[in-house]
Amino acid sequence: MGNCSCEEQGKYSYPNGDYFIGTLRNKIPFGKGKLYYENGDIKYEGDFVKGKKQGFGKYYFSDYNWYVMENNKKFYFMKGDYYFGQFFNDGMHGKGIIYLNNRIKYDGDFVNNKFTGFGKYYFENGDYYVGQLKDDMQHGKGKIYDKNGNIRFEGEFVNDHMNGIGKLYFENGYYISQFVNGKMVGKGKLYSNNGAFIGEYYFINGKMVNAAQKENSLSNMFQYFGDRFHGYL
C-alpha cells in the first residue's frame, strides 16, 4: 500500500509559473504531457520523468530565451523556433534537430544542451558543416560545403578553427596544407581536379611568402577562401 504509483490526468504548477497538463504519477508529471509558459504559450510537449523533460519531445523557444556562440557572436531563438528530439534530465540530450525561422539550423547530437558529437550545422549564408562538434563548436574531423552541396574544405578543427592537415577545394583543383587557428602555415601542395600536381607554396600565418608565385588558379582559390570562409575561421 505504501508503494502506490497512482496515475491520473491533471495539472501541475512549477515554481517559475510554468504549468504542466497531462499524466501525473503521485501528483508529479510522469509520462506524456504538455508544458506551458506562464502566459499560456506552449513550451514543451512530449515525455516526462519525475517532473522533468526526459525521453522524446518538442521544445518551443520563447523570444531571446536561449543562445549559443556562433563565431564569437550570439544568436537568439525567437518565438516559433523549436527543438525536436531527445531529452534527459530536463536538457536536450541525444539526437535532435533545431529549427530556426522554419529552417534546420542544426541536426545531430546533443550533450547537456550543447552540440556535442556528430552533426550538421548550417551557417547564415547557406553553407554548412558536417562533422564532429564539442561544446557548440566544430571540433574534430569535419567538412564544409557551400549551399549547393559542393565540398569546400575537409580536415581537422579545434574550437571552431581549422587546425591540422586540411584540404581546401576550389573550382579547378584543391590545396593540401597545414592549418593553425584557421590560417595556412608552412608548405602546401596544389593539385588540379584530376590529381595532377601543380606546385608547392609556402605560407606564414596565412600569408604566402612570395606573393609573386600566385598563378591565376591559385589566386582564384584564395579569393574564394577569403570571401567565403572569412566568417567562420
* Residues 58-117: tens digit of each pLDDT: 999 887 565 555 555 566 788 889 999 999 999 999 999 999 988 999 999 999 999 999
Pairing of the two strands 114-122 and 52-60: unpaired
% residues pLDDT > 70 (the chain): 82
Q: How many residues does the chain have?
A: 233
* Residue 142: closest CA among 127, 125, 158, 154: 154
Q: What is the pLDDT of residue 230?
A: 39
Q: What is the pLDDT of residue 210?
A: 63
Domain boundaries, the chain: 1-122, 125-233
Q: What is the pLDDT of residue 201?
A: 85
* Residues 17-72: tens digit of each pLDDT: 999 999 999 999 999 999 999 999 999 999 999 999 999 999 998 875 655 555 55
2.20.110.10, 3.40.50.300, 3.10.20.30, 3.30.43.10: CATH of 125-233: 2.20.110.10
Beta-carbon contacts of residue 71 (< 8 Å; ≥ 6 apart): 160, 231, 232
Q: What is the pLDDT of residue 231?
A: 39
pLDDT higher than 80, residue 215? no
Cell numbers at residue 163, please? 587546425
Q: How confident is the model at residue 3 (pLDDT cuts 50, 70, 90)?
A: low
Contact 68, 115 (CB under 8 A): yes
Rounded distance between C-alpha atoms, residue 127 and residue 48, angstroms: 36
* Residues 157-175: tens digit of each pLDDT: 999 899 999 999 988 889 9
Rounded distance between C-alpha atoms, residue 207 and residue 193, angstroms: 24
Q: Helix, strand, or coil here: 224? A: helix
